Amino acid sequence: MNNKKLIGILIFIILVVIITGIKIVGDAMKEEETGNVGNNTQVTQQENIKGLTTVYVATGGGKENFIADEDINKILREKYKLNVIYDGWSNGKLILWPMVREAVGKGNVSAYKEGESTINTPGLTPYDAIFSSDERYYNYYQLSPDKSKGEADRFRVQGGSLMLNTPIIFYSWDDVTEALINENIVTKKGDTYFITDMPKLMDYMLNKKKWKDIGLDQYYGSVEVKSVDPVKSSPGATYYGLLLSIYCEGVVTDETIIENLPSLREFYEKAGSFMFSPADLFDAYKFQRTPIIVDYEKSIINLANDEPENFAAIKDSIRLLYPEPTMWNSHCYQYLTDNGKLLFDAYQDPEIQAIAWERYGFRTGVVGGSYDTEQYGIGIPKTISQTVSGLKMEGYDKLIAYLKEKDPDKAYNVLHDITE
């Protein structure tokens, strides 16, 4: 091989390496700018962008698409000059670990040692805000830590609010809904269906009334509302919190809890099998025509936007049933620093709030809101008025501990401790 050919080959190889390198760097920069979520744990972004203030947020699940939305992040960058880094946190870790970024592998990892480092340990990087996925954790973080439970010291909360809200609703079908109307359990008001006699529906489930007993021979087995397990899943716990509130007739105290938890335990034990996850539950509804499931309202908005063909295929036969009362699931934002407040204020932007509803089904806390509910044509109400408050942290802890305890004597002790 002569020298000219050798030089030509070397030049070609060098050019390939350069072009490949440019593509890799370009793709990485593009991913950093759009804020794509990786493995539900953190948003991969460039941490220091000239001219922007970087805000670090400890973030609960259930809103991955919202925080990764390209248009939202563009508004935050261009209009508010904010670059937001979202790190994934489970709700439980928000109160057990110090709110420092090293706790999830960011920054100087060696500086964080579980159970040893605190919010005052030198060299650790505090979060600017917490974006939890459950109101009880939002409220609980503002209390002093319970050291007997191994809870970490907490930063002072400067402010915040319930940010993204979606109510518990039941998903059913036209034939099931008509049967429930005939049973005086469901009432249609305008274009919306409401479960106006929840205790009666619960009684049907508790006593294993058959579908065929209410004129639905096409469905096998007993009347039931499929859900996820309240012992293992936050959405399930929220649903059972609603049921407990209904048993207590809306007055949830230590006395009414101890009076009604045994009935709820019986309800739980007769519920049959639970779905593994909320995603599996909704898939069973839309693909297997499960008669009734309990889920959040936002799921149907997500279906309409993400799977328009599947939505169109079932739109005419699906029915949304709104319990009276129902209960909110709220994603709550609280800021710990001035930078955290900058993001809190930016989230109030009307365009961001419109995206939250139109793409992801989150109501943003404004009563009535500017929600175009008619575009979907499935009876979504503009306002949700009849609601009950969720249980406090202690109430949920007792509820879950009581339900999962299989030993009758130990279950009695859990129930007895409620009054102490």
What is the arithmetic mean of pLDDT over 275-294?
Answer: 93
For residue range 313-329, what is the model confidence (pLDDT) as tens digits?
A: 999 999 999 999 999 99
- DSSP conformation letters of 191-218: TEEEE--HHHHHHHHHTT-BGGGGT-TT
- Specify the DSSP class assigned to residue 152: P
Note the maximum CA span of the chain. Answer: 95
- Specify the DSSP class assigned to residue 135: H
What is the arithmetic mean of pLDDT over 120-146?
Answer: 92
Better pLDDT: 16 or 253? 253
What is the arithmetic mean of pLDDT over 267-282?
Answer: 89
- Of all residues in the chain, what percent carry a pLDDT higher than 70? 84
Q: Is the pLDDT of residue 282 over 80?
A: yes
Pairing assessment for the beta strands 53-59 and 129-132 based on DSSP bridges: parallel
Read off the pLDDT band of 181 (50, 70, 90).
very high
Q: Classify domain 166-329+376-394 at the CATH class level.
A: alpha beta
Q: Which two tokens stand for residue 175?
A: 């034939």
In degrees, rounded to 5, the angle at the alpha carbon of residue 152 between the alpha carbons of residues 120 and 418 is 155
C-alpha 267/C-alpha 182 separation (Å) is 24
Average pLDDT, the chain: 85
C-alpha 171/C-alpha 300 separation (Å) is 9
Read off the pLDDT band of 166 (50, 70, 90).
very high
Q: Is the pLDDT of residue 24 over 60?
A: no
- Of all residues in the chain, what percent carry a pLDDT higher than 90? 59
C-alpha 416/C-alpha 308 separation (Å) is 51
Q: What is the pLDDT of residue 132?
A: 94
Sign of CA dihedral 338, 340, 346, 348: negative
Q: What is the pLDDT of residue 7?
A: 59
Percent of residues in the chain assigned helix, strand, coil, to nearest 5: 45, 15, 35
Q: Which of 14-28, 127-141, 204-218 has the lowest mean pLDDT?
A: 14-28
For residue range 362-416, what is the model confidence (pLDDT) as tens digits?
A: 998 654 456 788 889 999 998 888 888 888 888 888 889 899 888 777 777 777 7
Q: What is the pLDDT of residue 197?
A: 96
Read off the pLDDT band of 219 (50, 70, 90).
very high
Considering the chain, tell me which residue range(s) the CATH 3.40.190.10 domain(s) occupy.
Answer: 166-329+376-394
For residue range 57-74, what is the model confidence (pLDDT) as tens digits?
A: 999 999 999 999 999 999
Q: Is the pLDDT of residue 281 over 60?
A: yes
What is the arithmetic mean of pLDDT over 236-257?
Answer: 89
Better pLDDT: 76 or 394? 76
